[in-house]
Amino acid sequence: MLAYRHAFHAGNHGDVLKHLVLMQVLQHMNQKDKGWRYVDTHAGAGGYALDGSYARQKSEYVDGVGRLWNRDDLPPALADYVGLVRSLNGDTRALKQYPGSPLIAQALMRPQDQLRLFELHPTDHRILASTFEGDPSVEVRMVDGFDALKSQLPPPTRRSLVMIDPSYEGDRDYARVVTTLRDALVRFAEGTYLVWYPQVGKLGARELPRKLQTLSPKGWLHARLTLSTTDERGYGMVGSGVFVINPPFTLHAALREWLPYLAQALSQIDEPQWLLDHKAV
């Protein structure tokens, strides 16, 4: 939806989980010299000022990346993540900027890799295009990412990671995630697809992981963190999940190592919950 701005939520616990998994996948893909194509169907503005008016309205980053920022006991994967965010803040101790998925992907890309970024919101698109202006390896377009994905598959190198992270403000997004992935897997069954979703009371959110499993005969991974409770009316995002189709074989062991730590570090309740399930190829 064009009213949605991710700046309100930048750096929150959902971003932490999503971007940790994103980094793990791209670091694994970098173990081979052959180039990859990263496609982001809902790229947002690319990066966000945490001291800006949008982020300060809710300050969700305080209970997200802010909880990890000054810890000295981080597992290696979390230390790498905080180090990357710190590098985009000028390696200072101050947390003022938070990278979106495109900037994290750019930080891990090599000369042979490509970024394909789609964003419909005109303001976010303008910021995104300005951020990557002049980089021939990056293409930024103001189009519907669900539709644009068709033109990106299969990539020339036959290696890709697709990030699907819509706003989910309307119920329609849940169905579009499923139909888009169904088509994408017909076009390129070997690609890796990363879906982030909010843990909310909507039926679409509860059913999404099960529906994605049916699309993934060659292997999948599902990770979820439950970190808070709903408000008195039963509303609110209590956590989030990531679902990876065709995950790297190393991903399950990596998440098994640091997911319990992350649940405790980010929890806003006494007994946080974490889930890690997968089907190997």
Answer yes or no: 113 catalytic.
Answer: no
* Phi-psi category of residue 62: left, alpha or beta, with phi > 0 → left and psi -120 to 50 → alpha: alpha
Under 8 Å between Cβ of 252 and 281 = no
Q: Tell me which residue of 211, 223, 222, 217 sits closest to 281, measured CA to CA.
A: 217
- What are the structure tokens assigned to 79, written together? 């230390």
d(CA 208, CA 178): 8
Distances (CA, A) of 274 to 47, 240, 253: 28, 10, 15
Long-range contacts from 123-126, C-beta under 8 angstroms, 24+ separation: 123/5, 123/45, 124/5, 124/6, 124/43, 124/44, 124/45
Sequence-distant (6+) residues with CB within 8 A of 212 are 177, 178, 181, 195, 220, 222, 243, 245
Catalytic residue chosen out of the listed positions 113, 124, 165, 173: 165
- The neighbour count for residue 253, using CB atoms within 10 Å, is 8
Residue type, 103: L
Under 8 Å between Cβ of 39 and 116 = yes
φ, ψ for residue 55, nearest 5 deg = -65, -35
For the annotated catalytic residues, the residue numbers are 165
